[in-house]
Amino acid sequence: MRTQLQVMESSLGLFTAIASLPSRQYDVIVLHYVLGYPCSRIANIMGIKPDTVRSHRRLARERIATKLGLSMTPAADEDKE
């Protein structure tokens, strides 16, 4: 039971952190991590450059990590998309 509550609490914290993002960062996070879209498709949908998508994603991840009290480690694989 305790483990289930811990998982629920951490999930709620993540959802709250995502919901608090600026709208462009929120859109990028949902399109990429929830819907699984690659940066090129997100760029096309949002009418921005793929580099801008990657920038929004990086900034969003940093903001989420800060809200959750986590340290940020570089995700080299993601930046190559």
Q: What is the pLDDT of residues 36-46, one digit of tens each?
A: 999 999 999 99
Distance CA 14, CA 79 (A): 22
Q: What is the pLDDT of residues 8-29, one digit of tens each?
A: 556 678 889 999 999 999 999 9
* Helix and strand totals (H; E) in the chain: 5, 0
**Angle (nearest 5°) at CA 42 between 78 and 22:** 85
Looking at residue 69, its pLDDT comes to 86
Query: pLDDT band at 80, cuts 50/70/90?
Result: low
CB 56 within 8 A of CB 28: yes
Query: pLDDT band at 71, cuts 50/70/90?
Result: confident
pTM: 0.76
Structure tokens at 37: 């879209």
Whether 60 has a pLDDT exceeding 90, the answer reads yes
Distance CA 61, CA 14 (A): 11
Residue found by looking up tokens 């993002």 in the block? 21
Whether 76 has a pLDDT exceeding 60, the answer reads no
Which domains are present in the chain? 2-69 (1.10.10.10)
